[in-house]
Structure 1
Amino acid sequence: MSSETILYIILAGILALLLALFQYFRKGKNMSKWYMFFSFLRFIIIFSILLLIINPSFEQLTLHVEKPNLVVAVDNSTSVKYLKQDGAVKNFIETIQNHAGLQEKFNLDVYTFGDKLNALDSLSFSESQTNIYHAFKQLSQVYKQSTAPTILISDGNQTYGNDYQFVHDLYKQPIYPVILGHTVRYTDLKIQQLNVNRYVYLKNKFPVETIVVYNGSETVNSKFEISNQHGVVFSKPVTFSKEDNSKVIHFTLPATAVGVSKYKAQIIPLSHEKNRVNNIKNFAVEVVDQKTNIAIISDFLHPDLGALKKSIESNEQRFVSILKPDNIIDKINDFQLFIVYQPNHRFKLLLNKLKTSNGNYFTVIGAKTNLNFINNTSEVYDHDITNQREDYQAVLNSNYHPFIIDDIGFESFPPLQSHYGSIKFKQPVDVLLNKSVHKVSTDDPLLVTFETQGRREAVLLGENIWKWRAHSYLENQSFQEFDDFLGKLVQYLASNKQKSRLNLDYNSFYEGNNHVVIKADFFDKNYVFDARETLHITVTNKVSELSKTFPLVLKNNHFEVDLSGLEAAEYQFTVKATNEKISKSGSFEILEYNVEQQFLNANVSKMKQLATNSSGTPYFMGNSEGIINEILADNRYQAIQKSTKNTIPLVDWKYLLAIIASSLGLEWFLRKYNGLI
């Protein structure tokens, strides 16, 4: 409290005393005991009110003891049960939770993880994926500012994600791995990896690559086979030894029928082999009878050309050719879509032919585009000519309705460069992306689609889209999100099918029952997205003929249902709108595959390396009691006494209000009682 505030309080006390004495002195010739008491009450009232006006502050010091956290992360995947360690894990968790020494020294937090991290509710060992790195990434956000030694109970077998043995750069806590499983190396044959294209073309042969690995010391013979519903379609004898312990098998298979073709790859197990689950790998390919040919036409070289080609050709159903405007005139009938990149006067004959043939095309307008030519050629839009350039970022229009589109982080993408100025459309268009300048959204479109005279067109008002694809890879370690976005745009432009009010987005087959997601988009009669509709999906198992109905959940600008709980089988489904008689059907297949059953042993080397990198100690489940003694004896984990200093203003002190109210009430009552009122 400052000296100035103390001076104000003293002056307030003097003023309150003078006012109280003045009010009662002038009313009586002598000061009786009642008048003295009334003067005291009046002094208390006036002084308290003046204190509230001055509102001095007081410092309050609070001491508390903060114990370190002990984090326990338990692998809840099916591999723990497969390795017969589930009972030992439950007993060990119970020991930790009931240990008096740990409870006294630590705040105990127990989590389970598979593909996600969750607070411990129960241990089911039913997770079908394991991502140890992601679990530590989430823990690093919770325990960033505290001491939290961590016990990791796992077999160390991660099915996807970044390499967790280097997670100490992210998670700055000592990690004590408790390793589940056996260190004994059993003789084992397994299919390590199988590579095959997702889509193949009718009457073509598609390549398959398989990597088979042997773990053992003796020389053994086996046979590798590929079979389908008609029998064995490929076989090859293989021989392994301690030195020659892996084989890469290349072969091709014919695509004879349109649709999804299922295959089973198998390495015949040895007679004494313990784990035979990893000897089999199911896979499927979708046979299509048509390939989409797309032409990118440009008068100069630009990184966008390669990015567009790579992105579009990530779908094996599409083939891209990069041509000059003079070289494509006689080949127009060979392509289903044309990407006109920054056109100039050399594109005049091409655009005239496209309009005559009613061909679909996608125009990219950039800094080198001849706007005079664009304005003279296009019948749909005009662009202002300012001879200035500007950088534009993208903002997704959530009301875009021709097809379902996900927000892949457009607002964080690098800006595209184009001409400064507005574009005016002479007919209604569907805006997919709007422009944003310096993070300020505008009403000007960046990417639009429209239909005119039965022809579909798109216009992108910016170049350097290759930066978007590169940024998407840096964010997701994969080009898939960007390629899917561009693939949907290309699919829409390459097709002239009539608009449908109910659109579905799903895969023909799924590997395992994880992430089986079907999306739907529903529009009203004006083709505006209708979030009021209720959609349901009925899924029928083709073999058992058992049907289940699920609601589709509204998520952002589309409907979605997660069918990940379904067993591996072939399914037919129908999506119906509740309020209107609109439905659409399809089929998909869930392939039987459990990646967690591919492991026979614990990954001891990585778990030990994780402990070394994080200044922890590895243990096996058999001697896991030692980890409790070590953590209790470690002087790094001590309780810390912390003090908290709070500045509390007097106006927050509720008792002062009570004093004022009680003093006023008491004065009024006594004066009333003595007949002074």
Structure 2
Amino acid sequence: MSKLNMLFSFLRFLTLFSVFLLLINPKFNQVTFITEKPDLVLLVDNSSSIKHLNQDKNVLSIIDNILSNTQLNNKFNISKYTFGEQLKPADSIQFSENQTNISDAFNQLNQVYKNSNTATILISDGNQTYGNDFEFITSTYKNPIYPIILGDTITHTDLKIQQLNVNKYAYLKNRFPIEAIITYSGNTTVNSRFTVKSGNTTLFSQPVNFTKNKNSETINFTLPANSVGVNSLKATIIPIENEKNIINNTKNFAVEVIDQKTKIAIVSDFLHPDLGALKKSIESNKQRLVTFLDLNNTFSQINDFQLVIINQPNNKFKHLFEVLSKENKNRFTIIGNKTDLGFINAVSKTFAHEITNQTEDYQAEINLNYSPFIVDDIDFESFPPLKSNFGAVNFLIPFETILHKKLGSVSTKQPLLVTFETNNRREAVLFGENIWQWRAQSFINTKSFNNFDDFIGKLIQYLASNKRRNRLNVDYESFYNGNTNVIIKAQFFDKNYVFDTRDALSIKVKDKISSEEKTFPLILKNNNYQVDLSSLPPSEYNFTIKATNENISKSGTFQILEYNVEQQFLNAHVTKLQRLATNSGGISYFPNETNSLIASLVNNNRFATIQKSNKNTIPLIDWNYLLIIIALSLASEWFLRKYNGLI
């Protein structure tokens, strides 16, 4: 056999062998190895209390010492975060946060490092201004925590206004209550005086005395509301000799005095949890009073109320609807399982509800284009569904939808909560019952009823008023505490009252005391424009919000009260941080013991690098090189035969 025939035979054998291999398609295992280092989380307190306790340089030195340590970097994947009000990546550390929520920072970290081998270094003074007690976070956060305790551990003699409880609103010619809680740290007997002043006028004064055992006192008193508007007051506990921190001896507060109260009536012929939930939400604003009216004795009192809430009406409500129409009263109607839809269709001149005698559970979907007032998304999609009558709703007049019905993941675009204006009155209709469950879920989500109550409050404020609709609406408070964010929101509409995202809004703010003026742009966010004025110092301000392309503006006034909660602390909260370390399986340290902490982490066998193997079964048909071999052998055989004139 010639060499050429032998070559042809080899190429043909190689081709057929490769094809048969593909037909059999054997599988083989591929094993890869990876090493996984444990995580080291550096959690840094970025609140202004760190700077107030003169610990800012210590913190920066500790961070640099940890991040530059070669052994730690070889053993751990190091991540750095800061926290104040919220957990953030540590892009910059300026110790400027006005609030501290240590518990929330750990809750967020838990979502990231829940299933990993992680050590957490907490660099903090342990002084938390709001949120759940961080000492008990170890019930959910299972990784060891190593606090580095910042601040003075020596207990100094100190008088402090621990808490001041006062309503935000009061009514003209009434007296409003105040509760002041004064605390004392020290071993000797001291005497002082608690005062409340408006300007230079003393409105209240009372002597107080403390001993080592009697270290707190609660003072309850009332003050008169004599003038309408925002009344700024200052509560002071007079400092004692050699007191180190006198900032926490004073608290500024304010009360807005109003000369009338919004009265809302609720009418229902049966008991329902929704009624109690609405009453609590509405009366969370002390400007509003809710009264439950008997259906049979409603009509003589109807003119005493600015709004009537009608719960699931039926034929018994016929006379009530006649009176409401005659007096042209604003109303809020709740339609649920016990509502007589035939009656509603007969008395309503604004909409008709299809009658199917069936119910369905619908979730809520917010309409971000709703225009009459600013509506914030309070996580409606997480709320339980409302029980609603199945069937289409046909409106006979223009209306605005706040919430649409949502069935599972499908948006029906049918209205769940709507508002409309007709004959110079305002109305709202809720096509569902069990809204009390929303209030409960809102509390579960945020640990507060405030979000839900604010939503209901805005709806009631709109319904209880007959003010002419404006193209520019502004949402702001009359005064802001110094430890809260100063957020002003605005909505701007075109001539057809459609939310306008094309214009640019700006706000000019003038300090009444210094006459200094500043201008800020408003940023478009969801269905409103917003500006954060938290950088402004405490003072009284006039402001004007103006649309750039049109001659439309709106003015108002607000006040920022002087108060920095982060400057109320004198010491580190040593005991609580030590208990946190013990309960989590970690150890607490002081700034001068940072090297000991580093050595402990480096030598701790609990945080070892793990080698993981990954076994992957691969079929031969996925091996592309075999296809290349088949193609090359066939091409080579064809070329050689062609070259030698055999084909």
TM bucket (normalised to shorter chain) is over 0.9
1:623 aligns with one of 593, 597, 617? 593
- CA–CA distance in structure 1, aligned partners of residues 91 and 310 of structure 2: 57
When structure 1 is superposed on structure 2, of 618-627 and 584-593 the one drifting more is 618-627
Equivalent residue for 2:33, pick from 55, 63, 69: 63
1:84 equivalent in structure 2: 54
Measured after TM superposition, the shift of residue 659 of structure 1 is 5.5
**Structure 2 contact 166–179 (Cα < 8 Å) conserved:** yes
Distance 2:123 2:196 in 1: 38
Indicate the SS of the match to 1:628. helix
Residue in 2 that maps onto 1:135? 105
Alignment of 1:595-674 (within 5 A): 595-648=565-618, 653=623
CA contact (8 A) 2:148 2:591 kept: yes
Residue 469 of structure 2 is matched in structure 1 by 499
**Residues 544-602 of structure 1: CA deviation (Å, up to 9, x unaligned):** 33333333222222222222222222222222223332222222222222111111111
> Which residue is 1:538 aligned to?
508
260 and 64 in structure 1: CA distance in 2 versus 1, 3 angstrom threshold: same
2: CA distance, partners of 1:49 / 1:574: 81
Partner of 1:8: none
Between the aligned partners of 1:548 and 1:43, the Cα distance in structure 2 is 86
Distance 2:119 2:211 in 1: 44
**Cα distance change of structure 1 residues 451 and 623 upon mapping to structure 2, 3 Å threshold:** same
Counterpart residue number, 2:498: 528
SS in 2 for 1:171: coil
The 3 A distance-change label for structure 1 pair 589 and 634 is: same
Residues 1:326 and 1:65: Cα distance change in structure 2 (over 3 Å):
same
Contact 1:513 1:590 in 2 (8 A): no
Instruction: Give the secondary structure class of the aligned counterpart of 2:61.
Output: helix
**Who is 1:307 aligned against?**
277
In the alignment, the residues of structure 1 paired with residue 220 and residue 615 of structure 2 have an alpha-carbon distance, to the nearest angstrom, of 72
Question: CA 1:654/1:583 → structure 2, altered by over 3 Å: closer, same or farther?
Answer: farther
* Corresponding residue number in structure 2 for 1:335: 305
Which residue number corresponds to residue 22 of structure 1?
none
Is the alpha carbon distance of 1:383 and 1:649 closer, same or farther for their aligned partners in structure 2, counting shifts above 3 Å? same
Distance 1:38 1:256 in 2: 112
Partners of 2:99 and 2:483 within 8 A in 1:
no
Which residue is equivalent to 1:325?
295
Would you say the 8 A contact 2:99–2:130 is kept in 1?
A: yes
CA deviations on 1:25-62 (whole Å, 9 max, x unpaired) are: xxxxx7444x6546655665676677678765542211
The alpha-carbon deviation at position 88 of structure 1 amounts to 2.2
1:421 aligns with 2:391: yes
Partner of 1:20: none
Deviates more, 1:54-63 or 1:491-500: 54-63
Deviates more, 1:667-676 or 1:428-437: 667-676
Kindly provide the amino acid, as one letter, of the partner of residue 206 in structure 1: F
Query: How far did residue 616 of structure 1 move?
Result: 1.2
User: Cα gap change, 1:658/1:511 in structure 2, threshold over 3 Å: closer, same or farther?
Assistant: farther
1:271 has 2:210 as partner: no
Correspondences of 1:258-657 after superposition (within 5 Å): 258-512=228-482, 514-648=484-618, 653=623
- 1:225 and 2:195 are equivalent in the alignment: yes
Shift of 1:609: 1.1
Give the aligned residue type for 1:86.
Answer: D
The alpha carbon displacement at 1:676 in A equals: 8.0
- Identity percentage of aligned residues: 61
Distance in 2 of aligned mates of 1:136 and 1:237: 43
2:175 alignment partner in structure 1: 205
Aligned residue in 1 for 2:130: 160
Offset of residue 139 of structure 1 = 1.6
Larger radius of gyration: 1
Cα distance in 2 between the residues matched to 1:593 and 1:526: 44
Q: Secondary structure at the match of 1:624?
A: helix
CA contact (8 A) 1:513 1:564 kept: no
- Counterpart of 1:7 in structure 2 is none
Given that 1:513 and 1:568 are in contact with CA atoms closer than 8 Å, whether structure 2 keeps it comes out as no
Map Cα deviations across residues 365-387 of structure 1 (whole Å, 9 max, x no partner): 22222233222222222223333
Mapped to 1, the partners of 2:307 and 2:134 lie a distance apart of 45
Structure 1 residue runs of 5 or longer lacking an equivalent are: 1-29
2:557 match: secondary structure: strand
Give the 3 Å change call, closer, same or farther, for CA 435–671 of structure 1 in structure 2: same
**TM-score with structure 1 length normalisation?**
0.89
SS of structure 1 residue aligned to 2:572: coil
Counterpart position of 2:222: 252
Letter in 2 for 1:351: F
Q: Which amino acid aligns with 2:211?
A: S
User: TM-score if structure 2 supplies the norm length?
Assistant: 0.93
CA apart distance, 1:277? 0.9
Number of equivalences: 647
Do residues 193 (structure 1) and 163 (structure 2) align? yes
Q: Distance in 2 between matches of 1:600 and 1:50?
A: 82
Answering whether residue 70 of structure 2 is matched by residue 100 of structure 1, we say yes
**Alpha-carbon deviation of 1:309?**
1.1
Cα RMSD for the two superposed structures: 2.5
CA contact (8 A) 1:63 1:644 kept: yes
Gaps of 5+ in 2: none
